[in-house]
Amino acid sequence: DTAVSQTPKYLVTQMGNDKSIKCEQNLGHDTMYWYKQDSKKFLKIMFSYNNKELIINETVPNRFSPKSPDKAHLNLHINSLELGDSAVYFCASSLGANVLTFGAGSRLTVL
Amino acid sequence: EDKVVQSPLSLVVHEGDTVTLNCSYEVTNFRSLLWYKQEKKAPTFLFMLTSSGIEKKSGRLSSILDKKELFSILNITATQTGDSAIYLCAVDSNYQLIWGAGTKLIIKP
């Protein structure tokens, strides 16, 4: 019974492609997030989504777009992938804006 | 600008040693401070601190917050190789989590 599950765990693709990472949580949380963790292990918030309110980190390129079909899902779609997009992407959820529960991460490699 | 600074960035000790990890912060509207442990995969929650001077404890790990001096410490006593991980500190400011860069802890047998 994984609390926050994201797929795929690994994704290898070519520059210029479009890809999606899916995330689902079964905790009944009301807020979901996408984080990017680069090679230096620094966690950077990309998006948070609460009751249909999307808060975007302004440094995130508009090639990245979150899509939330319902409260339990927040998918990440990336257009025109670039080499610098290679990272581990973490989905997380919380009740309110406090303790986050993270998914296992999706390692994206852009060749 | 809100910021969270962790020190040291990395630390190598021997099994059985005691370590202290530091997290200092400057934020506009402090609500809480959280510690996470990240091994190979997802960060896992350790502690949430909201009040000064009250120690949170879980086994060999403990943490305390000083809201006057704006820092928190995470102590690990009698370290084991399984404690090797990145320890992340985050501060909830205005309902946004501000993350530190983490401390990479390596425990040598």
Decide if pLDDT at A75 tops 90.
yes
Give tens-digit pLDDT for B59-76: 999 999 999 999 999 999
Instruction: Please tell me the predicted confidence (pLDDT) of residue A10.
Output: 96
The pLDDT of A12-37, averaged and rounded, is 95
- Single-letter code of the amino acid located at B48: M
Nearest to A98 among B32, B42, B102 (CB): B32
- Single-letter code of the amino acid located at B31: R
How crowded is residue B39: how many other Cβ atoms within 10 Å of its Cβ? 12
Of the residues B95, B98, B103, B104, the best mutation for testing chain A's interface (the one with the most A CB atoms within 10 Å of its CB) is B95
Decide if pLDDT at A74 tops 90.
yes
Count, residues in chain B = 109
Nearest to A99 among B42, B48, B96 (CB): B48
Which residues does residue A71 pair with via DSSP β-bridges, in sequence order?
A: none
- Measured CA to CA in angstroms, residue A14 lies from A18, A32, A86 at distances of 9, 28, 11
Contact A38, A22 (CB under 8 A): no
Cis ω before B8 (30° cut-off from 0):
yes
Q: Is the dihedral of CA B19, A89, A37, B109 positive or negative?
A: positive
Q: What gap in Å lies between CA A98 and CA A39, rounded to an integer?
A: 26
CA angle A27, A53, A88 (to 5 degrees): 60
Q: What is the CA radius of gyration of chain B?
A: 13
Decide if pLDDT at B1 tops 70.
yes
